[in-house]
Structure formats: structure tokens, C-alpha cells
Amino acid sequence: MTPVVTRRAAAQVADQLVLAVREQRLAAGDRLPPERELAERFAVSRPTIREALAALELAGIVRSHKGRGTVVAATASHVSTWGVEVLPPQIFEARLAIEPALAAFAAEKRHPADIDQLRQVVSELESEFALTNTYGDDLPVHRAIARAARNPILERALADALVRMHSPLWTDLSRRALLAPGARKGHVAENRRVFEAIEHGDAAGAAEVWRQHLIGFRDEMLGRSAGAGPATPERPSA
């Protein structure tokens, strides 16, 4: 048995927008209506619309452009499995197979523009945590590392895994895992460590930091006391 959760309005908005892409009522390159118009159409608040669009952007389904608004980035085939329930252990299995390799490739290739982008997203995460003692999520760091690996096949594979993290079950388990005091502090430090390993070209070190990062959160989220590696007491959502 799994926890019973009520789906948030933002998740329902995201589902409807994805359905429009799947049914080809929206195509890659189409611009979405402004937030205010979307809020009126869905009869929800503008913050709810912003939350839905942020989730879709993290999943690679839409992109936000200054001056152009929000544009559809995915095709019908890209969203064909949206909403299909994949269990958290399966998501972690996939991410553990993909993300350490992405971190290693990023460290081996070290394109200057990619290092600059990764430095920026890590600094933004640290600044947000320093100011608020919390943060929304660290997926921008994971995506920046995937881009820095310069392997579109692996990047697409990760994007598919991250899409599955919008399920009600993942959201509820992740929220519970973050209730422990100081849960986010160690995670911010791990983001800094993986960046430094990539910046210095330490492929093996980057892969290991990212592997332990995922193992630690997996064990907290799924309530494991031991397993595939040492867990750190301060680990949040990855």
C-alpha cells in the first residue's frame, strides 16, 4: 500500500497542458498564452500557473524566453509516457545508471560555457539557501550537468526519468524526506563538491559524489537504513 495523496491544482494544470501536446493541439515552438489568460482558462491563481509551468520547464516540456513568453519545447512522442506511474525505486535505478556517467563526461569535457553555467546554478542554489535556509529544488544543477556532458542521448534519458518525479507518490515521499531539521544543508554542499570535481576534471570524483548524492536521498526517501552506500544525515531532495 502507498500513501493516499490529493493532487495539487498545479499538477492538474500541467497534466492538461501535456495532454494538449500529446494530442498535438500544441506543437513544439507554439507559444502558450500569458499567465493571466491561463489562470482564467483553468480557473486557478497565477501562482498555480507559475508552479505548473516551472514543473514543465524542469521536465524539458516548455521553455521560458524573455520577450517571447513560454514556448512548447516537446513533441507528442516526448510526452507519451507522462502520467504513467513509475515507482520511486525504479526512478532511482535509472538515475543511478545515468547521472554518475553524466557527471564524469562533464568533467572530462569541461567546455568553458558549460562550466560557467554550472557555476551559476550552483551559486544560485547556495544563495537561495543562505538567504532562506531552504530552496525549491536542485534540478537546475542536475540539468546543467547533463547539458555539460554533451551527450544528447543520455541527456534525453535523464529528462525522461525526471518527468516521472512529478507523480503524487514521489511528491509526497519527497516532502516527508525533507521534514528533518537541516535536511538541505548537506545537499547544498554536495552540489558544490560535484561542481568542483567537474571544474577540475576529476571524472571519477564527480561520478562518485553524484552517485552518493542519489543513494543518500534514495535511502532517506524510501526509509532505508542501509544499502548501496553510506547515507549522510543531511540530505534533501535530489
pLDDT-flagged residues of the chain (< 50): 1-6, 225-237
**In contact, 223 and 200? CB cutoff 8 Å:** no
What is the dotted CATH code of the domain comprising 88-221?
Answer: 1.20.120.530
Structural domain spans, the chain: 9-79, 88-221
Q: What count of other Cβ atoms lies within 10 Å of the Cβ of residue 79?
A: 23
**In contact, 75 and 28? CB cutoff 8 Å:** yes
pLDDT in the model for residue 97: 97
CA distance 196 to 210: 12
CA distance 53 to 165: 15
pLDDT in the model for residue 115: 97
Fold topology of 9-79: Arc Repressor Mutant, subunit A (1.10.10)
Per residue in 195-205, pLDDT tens? 999 999 999 99
pLDDT in the model for residue 233: 35
First CA to last CA distance, the chain: 24
- Paired with 69 in beta bridges are 65
